[in-house]
Amino acid sequence: MKVTLFGATGDLGGECLAQCLQAGHDVTVLVRTPDKLPAVFKDRIRVVQGDGLVLEDVSRALPSGTHAILFAVGVDEKTSPPDLCTDITRHILTVMRQTHIPRFVWCGGGSTLRPDDVVTFGAKFVCWFSEIFLKHRHTDKQHQLTLLDENTDLCWVGIRPLQMKQGAMKGRYRLGFNAFSGMSKIHFADCAQAMIRMLEDDTWLGKAPIIQY
């Protein structure tokens, strides 16, 4: 499968890149700084230097015949511009329509509640904490999800992790609209595994389940 990955130099994106290659996918990445990519992967992928906030760069990273897009862009509270993920996603959706790319798999955040969620005190605490202390990240992910909800004619699917941590892949986790709290955790490796499985699994199309242990 021909896959383009956004956010390849981050913790989650690095896991997505490694696991995509292990699965035998043909991978293109859009990165601002190619030197940040692991040297061991550079000869095995197509590297497009550019910025996801520039439509022309996004278009270059999504060549004809692309089968799917993986979105693992992270938000830094101090350095990321407002609505980073939302604006990159808007460009991606534009190109998806132009070139008929069939799937977009993205990573959001657990502070954005969905109608199917089991909304407990723990979930409400996550939202409150994010709105106060992670407002930049929370607002961007909320806007991104609103944008996707406005484009339900396109094929998208995603996950919403809570606390993402470094750690070995367990391969066992809950994926759904289960109760969650600020204590819910998941390793980057398992997030990546879930996203890569969604490249070919239609179970959660148009939805964004919570992922947690």
Tens-place pLDDT, residues 26-77 = 999 999 999 999 999 989 999 999 999 999 999 999 998 999 999 999 999 8
Question: What is the C-alpha separation between 36 and 122, in angstroms, rounded?
Answer: 37
Number of domains in the chain: 1
pLDDT for position 135: 84
- Kindly give the pairing relationship between strand 26-31 and strand 2-6: parallel
Which tokens in the block code for residue 31?
Answer: 């990165």
Domain that holds residue 38: 2-212
Per residue in 153-187, pLDDT tens?
999 999 999 999 999 999 999 999 999 998 999 99
In a 10 Å sphere around its CB, with 0-12 CB exposed, 13-18 middle and 19+ buried, how is residue 41 labelled? middle
Which tokens in the block code for residue 127?
Answer: 């939202």
pLDDT for position 200: 96
pLDDT for position 162: 94
Neighbours of 45 (CB within 10 A): 19
Which tokens in the block code for residue 79?
Answer: 């350095």
Q: Which residues contact 30 (CB under 8 A, 6 or more apart)?
A: 4, 5, 6, 8, 48, 49, 50, 52, 57, 58, 60, 61
pLDDT for position 52: 98
pLDDT for position 186: 98
Q: Which residues contact 132 (CB under 8 A, 6 or more apart)?
A: none
pLDDT for position 54: 98
Question: Residue 198 pLDDT > 90, yes or no?
Answer: yes
pLDDT mean over 182-203 = 97
Q: Which percentage of the chain shows pLDDT scores above 90?
A: 95
CATH code at 114? 3.40.50.720
pLDDT for position 136: 85
Confidence (pTM): 0.96
The mean predicted confidence, pLDDT, of the chain is 96
pLDDT mean over 94-114 = 96
Longest dimension (CA), the chain: 48
pLDDT for position 126: 94
Chain length of the chain = 213
**Residue 85 near residue 75 (C-beta atoms within 8 A):** yes
Residue 67 has φ and ψ, to the nearest 5°, of -90, -30
Which value, to the nearest 10 degrees, does the dihedral of the CA atoms of residues 175, 70, 193, 205 take?
30
pLDDT for position 187: 98
